[in-house]
Chain A
Amino acid sequence: MPIISDRVEVERKPKLGGGGPGKIPHRRGFGGGDDGDHGNSGDFRSREQRMRRYRVGMTLCIISVTAVFVLLTMVYVFRMGKGRFDEDAHRWVRDWIPLTLPYVQLWTNSLILLLSSLTLELARRSMAKKEEFAAMGIVPPRLGRDLPWLGITVFLGFCFLVGQVLVWNILRSQGAFLASNPSRSLFYILTGTHAVHLVGGLVVLLYAVAGRLLAIKFESQRIAVEVTGWYWHYLAFLWFGIFALVHFARG
């Protein structure tokens, strides 16, 4: 019936470009819409633009996170060198007690994180291949020896977090609590801040994994994986920075 099909046409149009008022379909790939999730299929240029936009945003986030960790490192170094003034002896005494690190657990965690970085990279590559199909409106086929890399990454991410909790438990069983000594405080703060940032990455990855269930477009899934990939590799890099700091600057 022509009348019904007309109505469908009319209703579909404002949906281009996605939610919110003043949402403009991004026809020429600029501005427009929040992330144009519901519509706007097939326009290659605008897809690339969207990807670039998210990459710029992620770069900015990474800059900001770096500032935080540079600050924490400075606090670490400063606090290590500083002590308290002993009134009786009338001189400065260092109050920094070196930490005995649970190296086995830490190396296991490092390995897990490194592995998850690798699987995420594989997930990213496999999605990049599938994108060509998605762009043409074909449900992406299962390629060759294609494991659910994304799911594995999320699993490994959780393993890393559990591993970090184990590290903290080992330290606590040694009597090293947050408030016992600045070396302990800073170890917990550095690893804790890193873990919090990792959780942020995990949430986005979970969103991508749950893509089918939430009816998220393949394109959005891909952007999430791509951008989180940058973030994830950065966090792995950051982890080794933290590990190096607490190892080489034990005090």
Chain B
Amino acid sequence: MTISTPSAATSSNRSFLRCHVFSTDHKVIGRAYFFLSLAAVLVGAWLSLLMRIHLVWPKATLLLLGEIKPENYLAQLTMHGTLMVFFVLSTVPQSGFGTFFLPLQLGASNMAFPRLTAAGFWTALLSFCVLMAAFFVPGGPSGAGWTQYPPLSALASAGPGQALGTDLWLASIGLFCLSSLMSAVGFVATTIHHRAPGMAWLRMPLTCWSWFVTSLLILLAFGILLAAVVLLMLDRHAGTSFFIPGGLLVSGKAIAHSGGSPLMWQHLFWFFGHPEVYIAILPAMGVTSHLLSVFARKPVFGYKAMVGATLAIGALGFMVWGHHMFVSGMNPYAGFAFSTLTTAIAVPSAIKTFNWVATLYGGRIRYVTPLLFSAGFVSLFITGGLTGPILAQPALDTYLHDTYFVVAHFHLIMAMAGVFAIFSATYFWFPKMFGRMMNETSGRWHFWITLFGAYATFMPMHLLGIAGHPRRYSELSGVQYVTAMAPLQKFITVAVIVTLAGQVIFLVNLFWSMFKGRKAEANPWECTTLEWTLKSPAPAEGFGDQRPQVNHGPYEYNISGAEKDFVMQDAPAS
């Protein structure tokens, strides 16, 4: 699984398993998270391909799968969302790159609680296995969507995947909550406690800031989800009625539950769910800020404003959950408050976007793959972000909520932007993680195909949404105004196939470079932060006894008077 060769000193007296598998070394755990997410993204992407093909060629029977029934489509939809949101977007930027690089960037030799961090990974792996098991049980995976709205998710008789499949889903997400909490405790304690001498709070790279704020969000949000999942489990198995209303008939049979509120689940879920959006995107923003500065060879424009905006987004993230529920029949005054607060998030987001563009402006830009993907992030973040204020208006959202417009919005701003940041981080940190460089030419091919593919896939969905094409349906043949949009749907499916084919370039590049890539020197990108003071790949003993002394800020590029165009953070104070 892991590739690096640890130095002889540490490997001589430790078994292979202890070094590479049951290790408490943050680098081994970070890499393991990376591969876990890679497995999850492959399954998730495969499911999206199945769904897209089914949408435009419903009669096509794909290899070994047979006919896709509506409930299968819903199960695929649910698993695609769950895998991508939990196991990709909130796992690899935070737990993957964060576990690997937070201690290195802070000048620490490990996380604050290495065993806890390791336990977090193993719980996440178990959670992933439990989720995958749902594919192999009778009835298949849950079909209630990644949001698991009751009563569909609360009643085992409501559908084929609603029995064991949903139990597995809930168990898996419960475990994932525990895993995230364990990991987040380590992150916050490391940041507070393990900074090298001289690493003041405002000398931390912006990546560390965003990992820190994200961990705080995890601490508050995932506990809530865990409690909500337990309540839903009790509704399903212990006969309580928190989320199940009275008077329900399922397949002609009356349900014994009464008095519960499905709306309460929506409140609980989205109170977690909206911070979750920022849990996914804040680390991506941090990586982007970091990389734009590195490759524009300029200090980040407005470092303190960036830190403030990160904190503001984190805080506002807890006050806006209601904007996912405008169509639930909530009090219009509540809708107004949520709408106003949601629009307020545009302010810190705009500060960040302005600063990214200003960082690039006038820089001596080095057009390498990590920069391209970071610039792609900014582009997708703006495109996806512009539809945010539209959906924040209850009046507009009422029309657009159940259409492809929302699909386009969250895929551009959360999924595609997040994935672009993951790609840029992979290309950027690959030498430190695996000791070799990734291939530049195929990196560029990968970038352009993915960029055009992402836009070709999701831009037309805005039009579908405005024209009223509802989401979540497996097949709408016979509905005339929807049939008229079939050519656009076909175009999207073709775009998806091309985009996913483009990812093969990435996979080949990844694994080829791991073994055959050009050997990387210690600091191939000429960065200033502490992880680049170590040789590549980062040695098992980290900084060893040579604890770095930090004398400089994280983004000292092109400082007048310096001999090179960058000043390492641990360079002697001038």
Give the contacts of A18-44 with B (CB-CB under 8 A): 19-24, 27-28, 30-35
Q: Judge whether A129 is part of the interface by a CB distance below 8 angstroms.
A: no
- Chain A residues with CB under 8 A of B220: 63-64, 67
Using a Cβ–Cβ cut-off of 8 Å, how many residues does chain A contribute to the interface with B?
A: 44
CB pair B25–A22 under 8 Å, yes or no, is yes
Beyond A21-B540, A57-B185, A60-B189, whether A33 also contacts B25 by CB under 8 A is no
Q: Judge whether A210 is part of the interface by a CB distance below 8 angstroms.
A: no
CB pair B110–A21 under 8 Å, yes or no, is no
Q: Judge whether A56 is part of the interface by a CB distance below 8 angstroms.
A: yes
CB pair A82–B192 under 8 Å, yes or no, is no
- Chain B residues with CB under 8 A of A87: 247
Beyond A53-B193, A87-B247, whether A31 also contacts B6 by CB under 8 A is no
CB pair B240–A182 under 8 Å, yes or no, is yes
Q: Judge whether B24 is part of the interface by a CB distance below 8 angstroms.
A: yes
Q: Judge whether B366 is part of the interface by a CB distance below 8 angstroms.
A: no
CB pair A56–B110 under 8 Å, yes or no, is no
Residue of B nearest to A20 (CB): B24
Residue B110 contacts which of A24, A83, A178 (CB distance < 8 angstroms)?
A: A24
Q: Judge whether A142 is part of the interface by a CB distance below 8 angstroms.
A: no
CB pair B25–A24 under 8 Å, yes or no, is no
- Chain A residues with CB under 8 A of B154: none
Residue B27 contacts which of A14, A22, A28, A82 (CB distance < 8 angstroms)?
A: A22
B187-203 interface code vs A (CB 8 A; 1 in, 0 out): 01100111010000000
Q: Judge whether B422 is part of the interface by a CB distance below 8 angstroms.
A: no
Give A34 to B13 CA distance when docked, in angstroms.
Answer: 17
CB pair B184–A60 under 8 Å, yes or no, is yes
Q: Judge whether A185 is part of the interface by a CB distance below 8 angstroms.
A: yes
Q: Judge whether A61 is part of the interface by a CB distance below 8 angstroms.
A: yes
Give A221 to B258 CA distance when docked, in angstroms.
Answer: 50
Q: Judge whether A84 is part of the interface by a CB distance below 8 angstroms.
A: yes
Residue of B nearest to A87 (CB): B247
B14-51 interface code vs A (CB 8 A; 1 in, 0 out): 10001100011101100000000000000000000000
CB pair B6–A21 under 8 Å, yes or no, is yes
CB pair B115–A34 under 8 Å, yes or no, is yes
Give A77 to B571 CA distance when docked, in angstroms.
Answer: 57
Q: Judge whether B507 is part of the interface by a CB distance below 8 angstroms.
A: no
Give the contacts of B109-155 with A (CB-CB under 8 A): 109-110, 112-116
Give A85 to B27 CA distance when docked, in angstroms.
Answer: 56
Q: Judge whether A122 is part of the interface by a CB distance below 8 angstroms.
A: no
Residue of A nearest to B238 (CB): A178
A-B contact count (CB 8 A): 158
CB pair B114–A20 under 8 Å, yes or no, is yes
Of A68-76, A143-151, A167-175, A233-241, the one touching chain B: A68-76
A127-160 interface code vs B (CB 8 A; 1 in, 0 out): 0000000000000000000000000000000000
Give A78 to B194 CA distance when docked, in angstroms.
Answer: 42
Beyond A34-B114, A84-B246, whether A75 also contacts B259 by CB under 8 A is no
Give A68 to B226 CA distance when docked, in angstroms.
Answer: 8
Query: Least Cβ distance of A238 to chain B in Å?
Result: 14
CB pair B13–A24 under 8 Å, yes or no, is no
Residue B228 contacts which of A14, A19, A65, A71 (CB distance < 8 angstroms)?
A: A71
CB pair A31–B194 under 8 Å, yes or no, is yes
- Chain A residues with CB under 8 A of B234: 178, 185, 189
Q: Judge whether B563 is part of the interface by a CB distance below 8 angstroms.
A: no
CB pair A182–B19 under 8 Å, yes or no, is no
CB pair A179–B239 under 8 Å, yes or no, is yes
CB pair B110–A33 under 8 Å, yes or no, is yes
- Chain B residues with CB under 8 A of A14: 9-10, 13
Give A52 to B116 CA distance when docked, in angstroms.
Answer: 16
Extra pairs beyond A56-B193, A71-B223 (4, CB < 8 Å): A33-B110, A64-B181, A182-B240, A189-B230
Across chains A and B, which 3 residue pairs bring their CB atoms closest together, nearest first?
Answer: A179-B239, A31-B108, A20-B24
- B positions within 8 Å CB-CB of A: 6, 9-11, 13-14, 18-19, 23-25, 27-28, 103, 108-110, 112-116, 181, 184-186, 188-189, 192-194, 196, 219-224, 226-228, 230-231, 234, 238-242, 245-247, 258-259, 261, 264, 268, 271, 540-545, 547
13 A-B pairs with C-beta separation under 8 A: A21-B19, A21-B25, A24-B109, A31-B543, A34-B114, A56-B189, A60-B184, A67-B219, A79-B242, A84-B246, A85-B246, A85-B247, A185-B238
